[in-house]
Amino acid sequence: MKSNPAHSSNKDIIRKLLRFGLAAIFIGLIGYFAIVGTFPAFSLRYLGEENWGLLGDYASVISLALLLGGLAFAFAEYTDKENARYREKLVEEREKAKLSYDIYQAIFEKLTAPEQEAARRWILANITLKKDAEDIAAWYEETHKKIMARQAGITDGVPEGQNSVKLTLNCFDYIGFIANHYWDIDEDSLDWISPPIAKVWKRIGPYVAHVRTLRKAKDYYLSAEDFGKRCIQWRKDRGLPDEEYAKETL
């Protein structure tokens, strides 16, 4: 037969209280006998006689000394804990800064990889911005044709447009996932990373949203979308203009 957990817990509490009470009584008795036992020697040494009328004052002095000692000990403990907490905070901040730098380096290398830059350049050169009044289905159909079009004479392999969009979406999805879960992005990082992402997402964002509708896939490149919109909004909030794509530039 299984014992009642609540009953066992109550028994444990009672045992602990009894042990605590007995320990308190024992320590109190030791303190009492220590004070009473040492008082005669103290009285004879400093007063020349055993004056038990001063026992209360003697006990008060001993209690005050113990109190001050306890306060000093508590202050030392508090100081040690605060110093330890401060050191832990410094270590945590260093680790956080290192992690942020490592993530920054990984994202920088990914964004500046030649194939990624070429993919974004293709998007900027070939996909037009969807106008607010423009029908999404018509815009999507025209954009999809551009993405899936093959160069003359090439019949196999993935079309350049499809490869460019896929590379860019995978890159943005990676950055978005890292930003949402591991990277505490500061203002300087968004200032650096938002221009290339914002101007590209304005072109492929509506395309991704329509693909999600057609596929009925609610999680289709959600991290990419979240971060793309975040970059656009960040620039909008600061009144930063949209960058124009110019073919004759780097």
The tens digit of pLDDT for each residue in 17-44 reads: 777 777 767 666 666 666 666 656 666 6
Cβ neighbours for 231, distance < 8 A, ≥ 6 positions apart: 190, 193, 194, 197, 198, 201
Q: What is the mean pLDDT of residues 72-98?
A: 82
What's the pLDDT at 1?
46
Total domain count for the chain?
Answer: 2
Residues 192 and 157 in one domain: yes
Residues 186 and 212 in one domain: yes
- Most trustworthy range by pLDDT among 15-19, 110-114, 192-196: 110-114
* Alpha-carbon gap, residue 174 to 220, rounded angstroms: 13
Contact 104, 189 (CB under 8 A): yes
What's the pLDDT at 93?
80
Residues 121 and 55 in one domain: no
Q: What is the phi/psi pair of residue 3, to 5°?
A: -80, 155
> pLDDT at residue 211 above 90?
yes
Q: What is the mean pLDDT of residues 142-167?
A: 88
* Alpha-carbon gap, residue 35 to 224, rounded angstroms: 75
> pLDDT at residue 10 above 70?
yes
To 5 degrees, how large is the angle CA 51–CA 54–CA 58? 125
DSSP 223: H
Provide the residue range defining the domain that includes 199. 112-237
Burial 39-61 (b: 16+ CB within 10 A, else e): beebbeeeeeeeeeebbeebeee
How many CB atoms lie under 10 A from the CB of residue 208?
20
> pLDDT at residue 61 above 80?
no
- Both tokens of residue 126? 């070939």
Q: Assess if residue 250 is contained within a domain.
A: no
Q: Assess if residue 73 is contained within a domain.
A: yes
Least confidently predicted of 37-41, 115-119, 121-125, 148-152: 37-41
Residues 55 and 138 in one domain: no
End residue of a domain, out of 41, 64, 95 = 95
Q: Assess if residue 68 is contained within a domain.
A: yes
End residue of a domain, out of 61, 95, 129 = 95
- Both tokens of residue 31? 């303190």
End residue of a domain, out of 69, 95, 121 = 95
